[in-house]
Amino acid sequence: MKMVSMLFTLHIEDYMLPCFTKKIFGVDCPGCGLQRSVAFLLKGDFAAAFEIYPAIFTIIPLMGFLLADTFFKIKHANKISITLMISSVVLILTNYILKFI
């Protein structure tokens, strides 16, 4: 199972999209690191995923919650989704600002 996961992530890393903002302007964009973070998550390296892109741990639950909310009626769904969205944006912006310091 581990070998299959490793082969799968090796192929994902071969097809990652380049950041055009970084190529053109030489500066990271707020989304830089998201693809590599997902690859680390698939490998099971949660610490490296957090180090590269901390918002991954709020974006994945947000996407899962929004998907579940389309199929099931969830009480207080609006408050939960707004909380997850705000925490994702705060983490993305904080990480982006810290890259420049």
Domain boundaries, given as residue ranges, for the chain? 1-53, 54-101
Q: Are 80 and 87 in contact (CB under 8 A)?
A: no
Per-residue pLDDT tens digits of the chain, which is 101 residues long: 555 555 555 577 777 778 888 889 888 888 888 888 988 888 888 999 999 999 999 999 999 999 999 999 889 999 999 999 999 999 999 999 988 88
d(CA 48, CA 71): 33
Q: Are 34 and 63 in contact (CB under 8 A)?
A: no
Give the three-class secondary structure for 12. Answer: helix
Token pair listed for 73: 């009626």
pLDDT of amino acid 48: 92
- The label of the residue with tokens 């082969």 reads 7
d(CA 59, CA 89): 9
Give the number of other Cβ atoms within 10 Å of residue 94's Cβ: 12
